[in-house]
Amino acid sequence: MTFASLGLIDPLLRTLDSLDYVAPTPVQAEAIPAVLAGRDLMAAAQTGTGKTAGFALPLLQRLMMEGPNVASNSVRALVLVPTRELAEQVQQSFLTYGQHLPLRSYAVYGGVSINPQMMKLRKGLDVLVATPGRLLDLYRQNAVKFNQLQTLVLDEADRMLDLGFARELDDLFCALPKKRQTLLFSATFSEAIRGMAKELLRDPLSIEVSPRNAAAKSVKQWLIPVDKKRKAELFLHLYRSQRWSQVLVFVKTRKGVDELEAELQRQGISADAIHGDKPQPTRLRALQRFKNNEVKVLVATDVAARGLDIDDLPLVVNFDLPIVAEDYVHRIGRTGRAGATGQAVSLVCADEVQHLSAIEALIQQVLKRVDEPDFIPDHRVPQTLAGGQVVKKPKKPKKAKVVGGGKGGSLGRWLESDEPAAPPIKAVRKVPSFGGGPAKGGRKP
Protein backbone atom coordinates (compact mmCIF):
# COMPACT_ATOMS: atom_id res chain seq x y z
CA MET A 1 0.00 0.00 0.00
CA THR A 2 1.18 3.53 -0.75
CA PHE A 3 0.26 6.93 0.68
CA ALA A 4 -0.92 7.96 -2.80
CA SER A 5 -3.44 5.11 -2.82
CA LEU A 6 -4.97 6.52 0.37
CA GLY A 7 -5.93 9.66 -1.54
CA LEU A 8 -3.42 12.14 -0.13
CA ILE A 9 -2.66 15.24 -2.21
CA ASP A 10 0.62 15.94 -3.91
CA PRO A 11 2.14 18.46 -1.45
CA LEU A 12 1.71 15.92 1.36
CA LEU A 13 3.10 13.08 -0.76
CA ARG A 14 6.19 15.16 -1.54
CA THR A 15 6.73 15.78 2.17
CA LEU A 16 6.34 12.09 3.01
CA ASP A 17 8.78 11.26 0.29
CA SER A 18 11.34 13.66 1.72
CA LEU A 19 10.81 12.11 5.18
CA ASP A 20 11.42 8.62 3.75
CA TYR A 21 8.02 7.38 4.85
CA VAL A 22 7.74 4.59 2.30
CA ALA A 23 4.44 3.03 3.30
CA PRO A 24 1.62 3.88 5.72
CA THR A 25 1.69 2.20 9.11
CA PRO A 26 -1.45 0.12 9.95
CA VAL A 27 -3.08 2.93 11.93
CA GLN A 28 -2.39 5.35 9.09
CA ALA A 29 -3.80 2.96 6.49
CA GLU A 30 -7.08 2.83 8.39
CA ALA A 31 -7.31 6.35 9.76
CA ILE A 32 -6.32 8.43 6.72
CA PRO A 33 -9.17 7.43 4.34
CA ALA A 34 -11.74 7.57 7.17
CA VAL A 35 -10.69 11.03 8.32
CA LEU A 36 -10.58 12.28 4.72
CA ALA A 37 -14.14 11.04 4.32
CA GLY A 38 -15.17 13.09 7.34
CA ARG A 39 -15.84 10.19 9.70
CA ASP A 40 -15.43 10.22 13.45
CA LEU A 41 -12.77 7.92 14.80
CA MET A 42 -12.12 6.00 17.96
CA ALA A 43 -8.60 4.63 17.81
CA ALA A 44 -6.73 2.41 20.22
CA ALA A 45 -3.21 2.87 19.01
CA GLN A 46 0.01 2.13 20.80
CA THR A 47 2.61 4.85 21.01
CA GLY A 48 5.11 4.68 18.20
CA THR A 49 2.56 3.42 15.70
CA GLY A 50 2.58 6.61 13.65
CA LYS A 51 -0.79 7.79 14.95
CA THR A 52 0.18 11.47 14.81
CA ALA A 53 0.58 11.34 11.04
CA GLY A 54 -2.57 9.20 11.02
CA PHE A 55 -4.62 12.22 12.05
CA ALA A 56 -2.37 15.14 11.03
CA LEU A 57 -2.07 14.25 7.33
CA PRO A 58 -5.79 13.89 6.52
CA LEU A 59 -6.63 16.80 8.77
CA LEU A 60 -4.23 19.10 6.92
CA GLN A 61 -5.68 17.92 3.65
CA ARG A 62 -9.25 18.61 4.72
CA LEU A 63 -8.28 22.07 5.92
CA MET A 64 -6.68 22.75 2.52
CA MET A 65 -9.56 21.47 0.44
CA GLU A 66 -12.61 22.51 2.46
CA GLY A 67 -14.02 25.30 4.52
CA PRO A 68 -13.57 29.07 4.69
CA ASN A 69 -10.45 31.04 5.46
CA VAL A 70 -9.93 31.30 9.15
CA ALA A 71 -11.36 34.41 10.86
CA SER A 72 -9.53 36.30 13.57
CA ASN A 73 -9.32 34.54 16.93
CA SER A 74 -10.86 31.46 15.35
CA VAL A 75 -9.50 27.94 14.94
CA ARG A 76 -10.55 25.34 12.37
CA ALA A 77 -8.98 22.26 13.93
CA LEU A 78 -8.25 21.72 17.60
CA VAL A 79 -5.94 19.04 18.96
CA LEU A 80 -6.14 18.52 22.73
CA VAL A 81 -3.16 16.85 24.38
CA PRO A 82 -2.30 16.09 28.03
CA THR A 83 1.16 17.62 28.41
CA ARG A 84 3.16 20.61 27.32
CA GLU A 85 5.86 18.44 25.79
CA LEU A 86 3.34 16.56 23.73
CA ALA A 87 1.77 19.85 22.60
CA GLU A 88 5.14 21.01 21.26
CA GLN A 89 5.79 17.67 19.63
CA VAL A 90 2.41 17.42 17.90
CA GLN A 91 2.75 21.02 16.73
CA GLN A 92 6.17 20.14 15.27
CA SER A 93 4.54 17.25 13.40
CA PHE A 94 1.94 19.62 11.92
CA LEU A 95 4.71 21.99 10.84
CA THR A 96 6.66 19.13 9.27
CA TYR A 97 3.77 17.44 7.50
CA GLY A 98 2.27 20.77 6.39
CA GLN A 99 5.53 22.31 5.17
CA HIS A 100 4.22 22.70 1.59
CA LEU A 101 0.79 23.95 2.62
CA PRO A 102 -0.18 27.56 3.42
CA LEU A 103 -1.77 26.68 6.77
CA ARG A 104 -1.10 28.20 10.16
CA SER A 105 -0.64 26.09 13.26
CA TYR A 106 0.45 26.84 16.81
CA ALA A 107 0.63 25.23 20.26
CA VAL A 108 -0.64 26.72 23.53
CA TYR A 109 -0.04 25.33 27.02
CA GLY A 110 0.38 26.50 30.60
CA GLY A 111 3.56 27.34 32.45
CA VAL A 112 4.52 30.08 29.99
CA SER A 113 3.18 33.61 29.41
CA ILE A 114 -0.32 33.76 27.94
CA ASN A 115 0.19 37.07 26.09
CA PRO A 116 2.19 35.82 23.09
CA GLN A 117 -0.42 33.07 22.72
CA MET A 118 -3.19 35.68 22.63
CA MET A 119 -1.28 37.66 20.01
CA LYS A 120 -0.81 34.59 17.89
CA LEU A 121 -4.51 33.72 18.05
CA ARG A 122 -5.56 37.17 16.84
CA LYS A 123 -5.00 36.32 13.20
CA GLY A 124 -6.76 32.99 13.60
CA LEU A 125 -5.22 29.54 13.24
CA ASP A 126 -5.97 26.57 11.03
CA VAL A 127 -4.65 24.15 13.64
CA LEU A 128 -4.40 24.82 17.35
CA VAL A 129 -2.69 22.24 19.56
CA ALA A 130 -3.51 22.83 23.22
CA THR A 131 -3.49 21.48 26.73
CA PRO A 132 -7.00 21.76 28.23
CA GLY A 133 -6.29 24.14 31.12
CA ARG A 134 -4.60 26.87 29.11
CA LEU A 135 -7.11 26.57 26.30
CA LEU A 136 -9.95 27.14 28.74
CA ASP A 137 -8.16 30.24 30.09
CA LEU A 138 -7.81 31.59 26.57
CA TYR A 139 -11.44 30.84 25.81
CA ARG A 140 -12.65 32.58 28.97
CA GLN A 141 -10.62 35.63 28.03
CA ASN A 142 -12.25 35.65 24.56
CA ALA A 143 -8.91 35.02 22.90
CA VAL A 144 -10.20 32.00 21.03
CA LYS A 145 -13.54 31.27 19.32
CA PHE A 146 -14.77 27.92 18.17
CA ASN A 147 -17.54 28.82 15.70
CA GLN A 148 -15.35 27.81 12.73
CA LEU A 149 -14.20 24.56 14.30
CA GLN A 150 -14.40 21.62 11.87
CA THR A 151 -12.42 18.94 13.67
CA LEU A 152 -11.58 18.09 17.27
CA VAL A 153 -8.79 15.62 18.03
CA LEU A 154 -8.34 14.16 21.51
CA ASP A 155 -4.85 12.73 21.64
CA GLU A 156 -3.86 10.50 24.57
CA ALA A 157 -7.37 10.93 25.96
CA ASP A 158 -6.75 8.47 28.80
CA ARG A 159 -3.78 10.48 29.97
CA MET A 160 -5.82 13.68 30.00
CA LEU A 161 -8.26 12.03 32.41
CA ASP A 162 -5.41 10.58 34.49
CA LEU A 163 -4.02 14.06 34.90
CA GLY A 164 -7.33 15.34 36.22
CA PHE A 165 -8.48 17.31 33.17
CA ALA A 166 -12.03 15.87 33.13
CA ARG A 167 -13.64 19.08 34.28
CA GLU A 168 -11.76 21.31 31.86
CA LEU A 169 -12.65 18.93 29.05
CA ASP A 170 -16.34 19.03 29.94
CA ASP A 171 -16.31 22.83 29.94
CA LEU A 172 -14.52 22.89 26.61
CA PHE A 173 -16.87 20.37 25.00
CA CYS A 174 -19.80 22.61 25.93
CA ALA A 175 -18.17 25.48 24.07
CA LEU A 176 -17.57 23.56 20.83
CA PRO A 177 -20.02 23.43 17.93
CA LYS A 178 -22.06 20.24 17.95
CA LYS A 179 -21.58 19.69 14.23
CA ARG A 180 -17.95 18.71 13.80
CA GLN A 181 -15.67 15.77 13.20
CA THR A 182 -14.18 14.19 16.33
CA LEU A 183 -11.19 11.87 16.49
CA LEU A 184 -10.36 10.18 19.77
CA PHE A 185 -7.01 8.49 20.34
CA SER A 186 -6.26 6.61 23.52
CA ALA A 187 -3.75 3.94 24.40
CA THR A 188 -6.09 2.36 26.94
CA PHE A 189 -9.89 2.41 27.17
CA SER A 190 -11.30 2.76 30.67
CA GLU A 191 -15.01 3.10 31.46
CA ALA A 192 -14.52 6.86 31.60
CA ILE A 193 -12.99 7.00 28.14
CA ARG A 194 -15.73 4.82 26.71
CA GLY A 195 -18.30 7.13 28.30
CA MET A 196 -16.60 10.12 26.77
CA ALA A 197 -16.49 8.44 23.37
CA LYS A 198 -20.19 7.63 23.54
CA GLU A 199 -21.01 11.24 24.23
CA LEU A 200 -18.70 12.85 21.71
CA LEU A 201 -18.48 10.54 18.72
CA ARG A 202 -21.04 9.94 16.00
CA ASP A 203 -21.01 6.55 14.35
CA PRO A 204 -17.25 6.33 14.81
CA LEU A 205 -14.96 4.00 12.94
CA SER A 206 -13.18 1.92 15.58
CA ILE A 207 -9.56 1.23 14.93
CA GLU A 208 -7.46 -1.07 17.02
CA VAL A 209 -4.06 -1.73 15.62
CA SER A 210 -2.61 -3.60 18.55
CA PRO A 211 -3.92 -5.89 21.24
CA ARG A 212 -5.50 -3.99 24.08
CA ASN A 213 -3.00 -2.86 26.63
CA ALA A 214 -0.29 -4.95 25.05
CA ALA A 215 3.19 -3.63 25.49
CA ALA A 216 5.08 -3.07 22.26
CA LYS A 217 6.24 -6.40 20.91
CA SER A 218 9.41 -4.85 19.60
CA VAL A 219 10.53 -4.12 23.17
CA LYS A 220 12.53 -6.74 25.04
CA GLN A 221 11.46 -6.53 28.66
CA TRP A 222 12.94 -7.97 31.82
CA LEU A 223 13.40 -7.15 35.47
CA ILE A 224 16.24 -7.34 37.95
CA PRO A 225 15.33 -7.99 41.60
CA VAL A 226 17.24 -5.67 43.94
CA ASP A 227 17.00 -4.19 47.42
CA LYS A 228 15.47 -0.74 47.43
CA LYS A 229 18.51 0.95 48.95
CA ARG A 230 20.83 -0.46 46.28
CA LYS A 231 18.92 0.66 43.21
CA ALA A 232 21.14 3.65 42.40
CA GLU A 233 24.24 1.51 42.83
CA LEU A 234 22.79 -1.16 40.54
CA PHE A 235 21.83 1.43 37.94
CA LEU A 236 25.40 2.77 37.89
CA HIS A 237 26.79 -0.75 37.69
CA LEU A 238 24.56 -1.62 34.73
CA TYR A 239 25.17 1.70 33.01
CA ARG A 240 28.89 1.05 33.06
CA SER A 241 29.08 -2.70 32.62
CA GLN A 242 26.49 -2.80 29.83
CA ARG A 243 27.94 0.33 28.22
CA TRP A 244 24.51 1.85 27.84
CA SER A 245 24.59 4.55 25.21
CA GLN A 246 21.45 6.49 26.01
CA VAL A 247 18.80 5.76 28.55
CA LEU A 248 15.53 7.21 29.75
CA VAL A 249 14.99 6.42 33.44
CA PHE A 250 11.65 6.62 35.19
CA VAL A 251 11.57 7.37 38.90
CA LYS A 252 8.40 7.53 41.01
CA THR A 253 8.81 10.87 42.74
CA ARG A 254 10.21 14.27 41.91
CA LYS A 255 12.55 14.02 44.89
CA GLY A 256 13.74 10.64 43.65
CA VAL A 257 14.40 12.11 40.21
CA ASP A 258 16.51 14.91 41.66
CA GLU A 259 18.46 12.51 43.86
CA LEU A 260 19.31 10.14 41.04
CA GLU A 261 20.24 12.99 38.71
CA ALA A 262 22.57 14.42 41.38
CA GLU A 263 24.15 11.03 42.02
CA LEU A 264 24.76 10.43 38.31
CA GLN A 265 26.32 13.84 37.92
CA ARG A 266 28.53 13.20 40.96
CA GLN A 267 29.70 10.06 39.18
CA GLY A 268 30.60 12.08 36.08
CA ILE A 269 27.68 10.84 33.96
CA SER A 270 25.93 13.44 31.85
CA ALA A 271 22.37 13.45 33.14
CA ASP A 272 19.41 15.80 33.06
CA ALA A 273 15.94 15.57 34.56
CA ILE A 274 12.30 16.30 33.82
CA HIS A 275 9.50 16.51 36.35
CA GLY A 276 6.46 18.59 37.14
CA ASP A 277 8.24 21.01 39.51
CA LYS A 278 10.65 22.19 36.84
CA PRO A 279 9.79 25.27 34.79
CA GLN A 280 8.62 24.55 31.28
CA PRO A 281 11.67 26.00 29.46
CA THR A 282 13.93 23.81 31.63
CA ARG A 283 11.89 20.73 30.79
CA LEU A 284 11.95 21.44 27.08
CA ARG A 285 15.69 22.13 27.18
CA ALA A 286 16.39 18.87 29.01
CA LEU A 287 14.38 16.94 26.44
CA GLN A 288 16.10 18.69 23.55
CA ARG A 289 19.55 17.99 25.00
CA PHE A 290 18.63 14.35 25.38
CA LYS A 291 17.28 14.17 21.84
CA ASN A 292 20.49 15.81 20.58
CA ASN A 293 22.46 13.17 22.46
CA GLU A 294 24.13 15.87 24.56
CA VAL A 295 23.06 14.06 27.73
CA LYS A 296 23.24 10.31 28.11
CA VAL A 297 20.70 9.80 30.88
CA LEU A 298 17.37 11.55 31.18
CA VAL A 299 15.70 10.96 34.53
CA ALA A 300 11.96 11.61 34.62
CA THR A 301 8.69 11.13 36.41
CA ASP A 302 5.70 9.90 34.42
CA VAL A 303 5.24 13.39 33.05
CA ALA A 304 7.63 12.19 30.34
CA ALA A 305 6.00 8.82 29.88
CA ARG A 306 3.59 9.51 27.10
CA GLY A 307 3.69 10.66 23.58
CA LEU A 308 7.27 11.83 23.51
CA ASP A 309 9.01 10.66 20.40
CA ILE A 310 12.72 10.23 20.80
CA ASP A 311 14.47 8.84 17.75
CA ASP A 312 16.35 5.59 18.20
CA LEU A 313 16.01 5.45 21.98
CA PRO A 314 17.45 2.02 22.74
CA LEU A 315 16.60 1.64 26.40
CA VAL A 316 14.08 2.57 29.07
CA VAL A 317 14.83 1.82 32.72
CA ASN A 318 12.11 1.68 35.35
CA PHE A 319 14.12 2.68 38.38
CA ASP A 320 10.80 2.42 40.23
CA LEU A 321 7.76 0.61 38.91
CA PRO A 322 4.81 2.88 38.18
CA ILE A 323 1.91 2.77 40.63
CA VAL A 324 -0.60 2.77 37.79
CA ALA A 325 -0.02 -0.32 35.68
CA GLU A 326 -0.99 1.37 32.40
CA ASP A 327 1.91 3.78 32.85
CA TYR A 328 4.27 0.85 32.40
CA VAL A 329 2.99 0.38 28.86
CA HIS A 330 3.47 4.05 28.13
CA ARG A 331 6.90 4.19 29.65
CA ILE A 332 8.26 1.31 27.64
CA GLY A 333 6.53 2.75 24.58
CA ARG A 334 9.32 5.36 24.55
CA THR A 335 11.56 2.74 23.01
CA GLY A 336 11.08 0.29 20.16
CA ARG A 337 9.21 2.92 18.16
CA ALA A 338 8.46 2.89 14.44
CA GLY A 339 9.74 -0.62 13.90
CA ALA A 340 13.01 -0.25 15.84
CA THR A 341 13.79 -2.70 18.62
CA GLY A 342 14.19 -1.50 22.17
CA GLN A 343 14.80 -2.75 25.65
CA ALA A 344 13.05 -2.03 28.92
CA VAL A 345 14.48 -3.10 32.25
CA SER A 346 12.80 -2.65 35.62
CA LEU A 347 14.71 -2.58 38.90
CA VAL A 348 12.24 -4.17 41.26
CA CYS A 349 12.39 -4.35 45.06
CA ALA A 350 10.24 -6.47 47.38
CA ASP A 351 7.92 -3.55 48.21
CA GLU A 352 6.92 -3.28 44.59
CA VAL A 353 5.63 -6.80 44.06
CA GLN A 354 1.98 -5.72 44.00
CA HIS A 355 2.73 -3.15 41.30
CA LEU A 356 4.64 -5.82 39.43
CA SER A 357 1.78 -8.29 39.50
CA ALA A 358 -0.69 -5.61 38.36
CA ILE A 359 1.58 -4.79 35.42
CA GLU A 360 1.97 -8.44 34.53
CA ALA A 361 -1.79 -8.95 34.64
CA LEU A 362 -2.24 -5.95 32.36
CA ILE A 363 0.34 -6.96 29.77
CA GLN A 364 -0.57 -10.63 30.16
CA GLN A 365 3.01 -11.61 30.48
CA VAL A 366 5.20 -12.57 33.42
CA LEU A 367 8.34 -10.50 33.11
CA LYS A 368 11.55 -12.42 32.84
CA ARG A 369 13.74 -12.13 35.95
CA VAL A 370 17.46 -11.78 35.50
CA ASP A 371 19.52 -11.83 38.69
CA GLU A 372 22.52 -9.56 38.80
CA PRO A 373 25.18 -11.54 40.73
CA ASP A 374 26.44 -8.82 43.09
CA PHE A 375 22.99 -7.42 43.74
CA ILE A 376 20.90 -10.41 44.85
CA PRO A 377 18.46 -8.76 47.28
CA ASP A 378 18.31 -9.57 50.99
CA HIS A 379 14.56 -8.95 50.76
CA ARG A 380 13.54 -11.31 47.99
CA VAL A 381 10.90 -10.18 45.57
CA PRO A 382 8.10 -12.78 45.90
CA GLN A 383 7.35 -14.80 42.80
CA THR A 384 4.46 -13.64 40.68
CA LEU A 385 2.24 -15.89 38.64
CA ALA A 386 0.15 -15.68 35.56
CA GLY A 387 -2.90 -13.50 36.05
CA GLY A 388 -1.34 -11.11 38.54
CA GLN A 389 -1.05 -13.39 41.56
CA VAL A 390 1.72 -13.16 44.09
CA VAL A 391 3.10 -16.29 45.75
CA LYS A 392 2.59 -15.37 49.38
CA LYS A 393 5.42 -17.25 51.05
CA PRO A 394 8.65 -16.81 49.18
CA LYS A 395 10.86 -19.85 49.05
CA LYS A 396 13.92 -19.91 51.24
CA PRO A 397 16.53 -17.63 49.66
CA LYS A 398 18.89 -19.63 47.57
CA LYS A 399 21.91 -18.59 45.66
CA ALA A 400 21.06 -17.15 42.26
CA LYS A 401 21.76 -19.34 39.31
CA VAL A 402 24.19 -17.41 37.19
CA VAL A 403 24.37 -18.50 33.61
CA GLY A 404 27.83 -17.96 32.26
CA GLY A 405 29.19 -16.58 35.53
CA GLY A 406 31.31 -13.48 35.87
CA LYS A 407 30.15 -9.92 36.33
CA GLY A 408 26.92 -9.21 34.53
CA GLY A 409 27.25 -12.56 32.80
CA SER A 410 23.65 -13.62 32.95
CA LEU A 411 22.28 -10.31 31.85
CA GLY A 412 24.80 -9.80 29.11
CA ARG A 413 24.19 -13.30 27.74
CA TRP A 414 20.49 -12.92 27.74
CA LEU A 415 20.60 -9.53 26.08
CA GLU A 416 22.77 -10.80 23.31
CA SER A 417 20.53 -13.78 22.70
CA ASP A 418 17.49 -13.70 20.52
CA GLU A 419 15.48 -15.33 23.21
CA PRO A 420 12.05 -13.73 23.23
CA ALA A 421 10.48 -12.27 26.32
CA ALA A 422 8.38 -14.68 28.36
CA PRO A 423 5.47 -15.80 26.19
CA PRO A 424 2.06 -14.26 26.72
CA ILE A 425 0.03 -16.08 29.31
CA LYS A 426 -3.63 -16.41 29.96
CA ALA A 427 -4.70 -13.99 32.65
CA VAL A 428 -6.40 -15.73 35.54
CA ARG A 429 -7.55 -12.55 37.20
CA LYS A 430 -10.01 -10.80 34.98
CA VAL A 431 -8.53 -7.71 33.38
CA PRO A 432 -11.24 -5.24 32.36
CA SER A 433 -11.78 -5.75 28.64
CA PHE A 434 -10.94 -2.16 27.87
CA GLY A 435 -8.22 -1.89 30.46
CA GLY A 436 -10.29 0.21 32.85
CA GLY A 437 -8.01 0.44 35.83
CA PRO A 438 -8.85 2.13 39.08
CA ALA A 439 -10.11 5.68 38.85
CA LYS A 440 -7.26 8.08 39.18
CA GLY A 441 -8.08 11.72 39.43
CA GLY A 442 -5.88 14.75 39.75
CA ARG A 443 -2.58 12.93 39.79
CA LYS A 444 0.14 15.13 38.42
CA PRO A 445 3.51 13.46 38.00
Considering only the stretches 22-30, 140-148, 175-183, 214-222, report the one whose residues sit in contact with ligand AMP under the rule CB under 6 A. 22-30
| Contacting range for ligand AMP; rule: CB under 6 A; set: 19-27, 160-168, 210-218, 234-242 | 19-27
Q: For residues 78 and 402, which CB has a smaller minimum distance to ligand AMP in the complex?
A: 78
Pick out residues in 107-146 that bind ligand AMP (CB under 6 A). none
Question: Is the CB of 48 or the CB of 225 nearer to ligand AMP?
Answer: 48
Among residues 171, 165, 198, 174, the alpha carbon closest in space to that of 184 is found at 198
Which residue among 6, 12, 21, 322 contacts ligand AMP (CB under 6 A)?
Answer: 21
Q: Kindly tell me which of 2 and 241 has the beta carbon lying closer to ligand AMP.
A: 2
Residue pair 328/318 in contact by the 8 Å Cβ criterion: yes
Considering only residues 6, 32, 41, 51, which one is a binding residue for ligand AMP as defined by CB under 6 A? 51
Residue (52 or 365) nearer to ligand AMP, CB: 52
CA distance linking residue 404 with residue 401, whole number of Å: 9
User: Smallest gap, in angstroms, from Cβ of residue 130 to ligand AMP?
Assistant: 18
Question: Applying CB under 6 A, which part among 23-31, 132-140, 264-272, 358-366 lies near ligand AMP?
Answer: 23-31
Select the residue interacting with ligand AMP from 34, 53, 60, 349 (CB under 6 A). 53
- Stretch 230-269: interaction string toward ligand AMP, x if CB under 6 A: ----------------------------------------
Contact pick of 15, 52, 74, 190 for ligand AMP (by CB under 6 A)? 52
- Secondary structure in 3-state letters for 383-409: CEECCCEECCCCCCCCCCCCCCCCCCH
CB of 11 to ligand AMP, least distance (A): 17
Residue 209 makes CB contacts below 8 A (sequence gap 6+) with: 25, 26, 27, 30, 43, 44, 45, 46, 49
DSSP-derived secondary structure letter, 418? -
Select from 20-28, 168-176, 274-282, 317-325 the region that touches ligand AMP (CB under 6 A).
20-28
Number of neighbouring beta carbons within 10 Å of residue 94: 26
What is the end-to-end Cα distance of the chain in Å, rounded?
A: 40
Identity of the residue, 81 or 260, whose beta carbon is nearer to ligand AMP in the bound complex? 81
**SS3 state at 332:** helix
Selection from 123, 87, 118, 125 nearest residue 103 by Cα? 125
The per-residue b/e assignment along 366-386, b for 16 or more CB within 10 angstroms, e otherwise, is: bbeebbbeebbbeebbbbbeb
> Packing angle between helix 191-200 and helix 166-175, nearest 10 degrees?
0
Angle between helices 280-291 and 84-97 (to 10 degrees): 60
The answer to whether residues 205 and 39 touch, using CB atoms and an 8 Å cutoff, is yes
Site string for ligand AMP, 325-354 (x = CB under 6 A): ------------xx----------------
Q: Binding-site residue total for ligand AMP (CB under 6 A)?
A: 14
Interatomic CA distance for residues 204 and 181, integer angstroms: 10
State which residue, 50 or 58, has the beta carbon closest to ligand AMP: 50
Rg value, the chain, Cα: 23
List 50, 132, 336, 342, residue binding ligand AMP (CB under 6 A): 50
Over the window 299 to 328, marking each residue x when it contacts ligand AMP by CB under 6 A and - when it does not, the resulting string is ----------x-------------------
Bridge partners of 297?
247, 271
Residue with smaller CB distance to ligand AMP, 107 or 361 = 107
Q: Following DSSP, what letter does each residue of 57-85 receive, concatenated?
A: HHHHHHHHHSSPPPPTTBEEEEEE-SSHH
- Residue among 12 and 321 whose Cβ is closer to ligand AMP: 12
**Distance of closest approach, residue 99 Cβ to ligand AMP, in angstroms:** 14
User: Stretches 49-57, 111-119, 217-225, 295-303: which one binds ligand AMP (CB under 6 A)?
Assistant: 49-57
Kindly identify the residues of this chain, within the stretch 26-45, that bind ligand AMP according to CB under 6 A: 28
* CA pair distance 339, 239, nearest whole angstrom: 25
Q: How far is the CB of 187 from ligand AMP (least distance, A)?
A: 10
The CA distance from 151 to 36, in Å, is 11
Contact residues: ligand AMP, CB under 6 A: 21, 24-25, 28, 47-53, 309, 337-338
